[in-house]
Amino acid sequence: MKLIEYLIALGYKPFRYSRNGLFPCVNPYDYSTMREGGLDVRLIKGDSVFIIGLHEFKKPPTLISPRPRIRIHKTIIVDSVKKNVIINEIEDDAMNIVLKEVECEDIFKAIHDESFCFEFDLRESF
């Protein structure tokens, strides 16, 4: 994930978390539910912490926290009926769209500027 590389370049250090506390992370791109600390990596610099890892079932690793503000307009199908909805930064799908479409530097800036919101319109026409 480009964001991990970006944060490391800014001086963030990767760690994993276990019952015994934080420990240095050798491979911040390796996620596994089969070992302690394998669900996420914490990139830490001073008091600033970014958590990247597995979050929602059947979804790829993503930025868990902190997240920028996000609004995505999209079309879903409910009981065979198309509906337009808005999803926000709470959902991994929204965060993954931002990670795919936006430069890491802009994501980093938006996290630190609560007045900014990424907005995408992915609605289908009916």
Domain that holds residue 22: 1-65
Q: What are phi and psi of 101, to 5 degrees?
A: -100, -15
Is 48 in the same domain as 104?
A: no
Is 75 in the same domain as 124?
A: yes
Is 123 in the same domain as 83?
A: yes
Is 76 in the same domain as 38?
A: no
Residue 124 has pLDDT above 80, yes or no: no
User: Over pLDDT 90: what percentage of the chain?
Assistant: 79
Task: Give how many domains the chain has, as a whole number.
Answer: 2
Check residue 58 and give its pLDDT. Answer: 84
Is 105 in the same domain as 54?
A: no
Of 27, 50, 65, which closes a domain? 65
Is 60 in the same domain as 4?
A: yes
What average pLDDT does the segment 20-25 reach? 94
pLDDT digits (tens, 9 = 90+) for 51-86: 999 998 888 999 999 999 999 999 989 999 999 999
pLDDT-based confidence at residue 92 (cuts at 50, 70, 90) = very high
Is 53 in the same domain as 14?
A: yes
Is 113 in the same domain as 94?
A: yes
pLDDT-based confidence at residue 98 (cuts at 50, 70, 90) = very high
Check residue 29 and give its pLDDT. Answer: 93
Is 84 in the same domain as 50?
A: no
Is 76 in the same domain as 53?
A: no
To the question of pTM greater than 0.95 for the whole model, the response is no
Residue 43 has pLDDT above 90, yes or no: yes
State the average pLDDT for the chain: 93
What average pLDDT does the segment 96-120 reach? 95
